[in-house]
Structure 1
Amino acid sequence: MTDPKRLRVLLGDHPGTKALKSGEVASSRVAFDFADYTPTNKGFKPMVRQQAFDVSEMALVTYLMARDHGKPMVLLPATVMGRFAHASALYNAERGRLTVADLASKRVGIRSFTTTSGAWLRGILANDHGVDLDGIEWITYEDPHVAEYRDTTTRAPAGKTILQMLIDGEIDVALGETSSDPRLKPLFADPDAEARAWYAKHGVIPINHVVVVSQALNDGDPETVREVYRLLKEAKAHAPATTPDTTPFGLAAMRPALELIIAYAAQQKLISRGFAVEELFSDLTRGLA
């Protein structure tokens, strides 16, 4: 009996990956050597820039941008993290009430302009609330994962952190953040109600993190790619189900969210054009279900 093929793998700790990372879900054909990055998103840059892993969790917008620049990665129809975005827009209530309608000319902080949570939130603000994204001064703290992207935002001073700048009044809003600080309140007064209304309108759970494989693995060992997908799907089945499903698998289930984030990313000039959903997959991974 041959030894299993060992793969370099980056996967965070999620309900749908727990059984795989614990060994409860396993395979005689492949074995996973898990990389240790905390938080997991610290591993996205090495995957994009050096193809550091055979299988990798990946922020969806980072993948769209990587695909736009011809990076050798292939999307699996597998979601490991999805969530509504409305609760992760914060302002400092000690400095006065702020609403979505007040964002014009404000200073808005975000970890990187290219984060997936940021792209979802900007899409919501622009398309559902009429916010002029170009009228905002964007303050960022990290480089994009995709080196080729030309970042025109204002970089925060070295050593500054996004929530401390919000507390100190150096920015007006922080996107993509949560906090238990009582001074920091959600920009949407009732984010849960806003999320329910948005879902009723669009029928989409925002997908944040997906799984990709290297182009080399996709092209050179399709059976291993199929086995990786089978394991991911089995691990998801061990996690508590959610209604609606926050981690859809399969192209058909993922299509509504993919179509919407592609439109948002193109609108925000994160990618050079709108892709067809099918373009995000290979001939192999497009058919996985």
Structure 2
Amino acid sequence: MAPLHLTFACGDYDRTRALAEGTVRADGIDLTYLRLPVEETFFRMLRHREFEVAEMSLSSYVVSLREDPAPFVALPVFTSRMFRHGSLYVHADSGVEKPEDLRGKLVGTPEYQLTACVWMRGVLGDRHGVPFDSVRYVTGGQETAGRIEKAGLDLPASVRISRIPEDATLSAMLAAGEIDALCTPRVPSPFAAGDPRVRRLFPDVVAAEKEYWAATGIFPIMHVVVIRRDVYEQHRWVAQSLYKALVAARDAAYDSLYDTSALRFMLPWLTPQLEEARALLGRDYWSYGLADHRNREALAAFLRYHHEQGLSRRRWEPEELFAAESLEAAVI
């Protein structure tokens, strides 16, 4: 039987590179790997269903579950994980010196449903006394005017949210002091350029994130891998096949990252930083699946935040998100 041809749209990651290069292959699948920016992948998959398999924002995926039938089925493969305390930026004259000062302020975000921002609204509420509905939100393009939400939202009245002017950008508004703060996955251009008017809310991001890990044991999950439902329903076996291959690709990245013969990435202290991460988070710090209770706890926290913030009509359980075939394996 000829292999099934599937197109997989995903970022250019060390943990998926073996699939992109063909050194790891999924059983029975001829895979075309498209390296695309995450925003493009998400937009094209959510709006036009262009790919059979794609990386997807965890929040966007959970939003999509309200459709009947849901258009995608996820695998518990977390192509992006990241502590997000560094995603909060403030204007120097906003009066925001600590997280609690955000109450009553005007906060920009490219999209309300962005996974990074769901996480940080939840963290601010749980740990800093800033309920998600205690601030006002504006949405729009960060660096280019005109960005819109990828998925239609039906938010509760308690969420005070509006769009910025069509010709404005969030980065420029933050630098000018027209908004007090910005929550965004990408570094805003004024901060990257060293503009003194813009700074991070948490001045020592690493310390804040290590403290969060110590208190919660959560390494936030940002993205999952989804299969288009029509493909999954016709070929149920692809879930297990893709999951096994993605695990193998990640394991290859683990091994190459700890090759000290030459630095794989342009980070001078890559090796000691890797060793510190393993000491703090465990050797399998980028684990997939739900067998690791920490993944289950991270997902449960996110799903609670997602529901509380008005993005999902009910609170999903972690097991409900994923193809059953990807949660079980044959015992030999």
| TM-score of the superposed pair, with normalisation by structure 1 | 0.91
What is the match of residue 85 of structure 1?
84
Deviation (angstroms), 1:196:
1.0
Cα-to-partner distance string for 1:25-84 (whole Å, 9 max, x where unaligned): 2346212223453x2222213323432221110111111111133322111011111010
What is the match of residue 100 of structure 1?
99
Deviation (angstroms), 1:247:
3.1
Q: Equivalent of 1:249, from 275, 284, 288?
A: 288
Three-state SS of the structure 1 residue aligned to 2:126 is helix
What is the match of residue 158 of structure 1?
166
Aligned partner letter, 2:212: W
Distance, in Å, in 2 between the alignment partners of 1:252 and 1:155 is: 41
Three-state SS of the structure 1 residue aligned to 2:211 is helix
Q: Equivalent of 1:143, from 133, 142, 148?
A: 148
Deviation (angstroms), 1:126:
0.8
Q: Any gaps of 5 or more consecutive residues in structure 2?
A: 141-146, 258-276
Distance, in Å, in 2 between the alignment partners of 1:214 and 1:152 is: 34
Aligned partner letter, 1:162: L
What is the match of residue 197 of structure 1?
211
- Contact persistence 1:207–1:246 (CA under 8 A): no
- Contact persistence 1:91–1:173 (CA under 8 A): yes
Q: Number of aligned pairs? A: 287
Please show how residues 18-29 of structure 1 align to structure 2 within 5 Å. Answer: 18-27=17-26, 29=28
Q: Given the alignment of the two structures, is residue 64 of structure 1 paired with residue 62 of structure 2, yes or no? A: yes
Change (3 A) 1:48 1:101: same
Please show how residues 127-138 of structure 1 align to structure 2 within 5 Å. Answer: 127-138=126-137
Aligned partner letter, 1:232: L
Moved more, 202-211 or 99-108: 99-108
Deviation (angstroms), 1:133:
2.4
- Contact persistence 1:78–1:247 (CA under 8 A): no
Change (3 A) 1:27 1:134: closer
Aligned partner letter, 2:48: Q
Q: Given the alignment of the two structures, is residue 115 of structure 1 paired with residue 108 of structure 2, yes or no? A: no
- Contact persistence 2:19–2:33 (CA under 8 A): no
Deviation (angstroms), 1:187:
0.5
Q: Any gaps of 5 or more consecutive residues in structure 1?
A: none
- Contact persistence 2:18–2:249 (CA under 8 A): yes
What is the match of residue 46 of structure 2?
48
Deviation (angstroms), 1:124:
0.5
Identity rate, percent: 29
Aligned partner letter, 1:270: L
Moved more, 191-200 or 22-31: 22-31
Distance, in Å, in 2 between the alignment partners of 1:145 and 1:252 is: 32
Distance, in Å, in 2 between the alignment partners of 1:198 and 1:259 is: 16
Distance, in Å, in 2 between the alignment partners of 1:287 and 1:145 is: 32
Q: Given the alignment of the two structures, is residue 170 of structure 1 paired with residue 209 of structure 2, yes or no? A: no
Structure of higher RCO (CA pairs closer than 8 Å, 6+ residues apart): 1
Q: Equivalent of 2:312, from 233, 257, 271?
A: 271
Distance, in Å, in 2 between the alignment partners of 1:72 and 1:165 is: 36
- Contact persistence 2:10–2:41 (CA under 8 A): no
- Contact persistence 2:239–2:323 (CA under 8 A): no
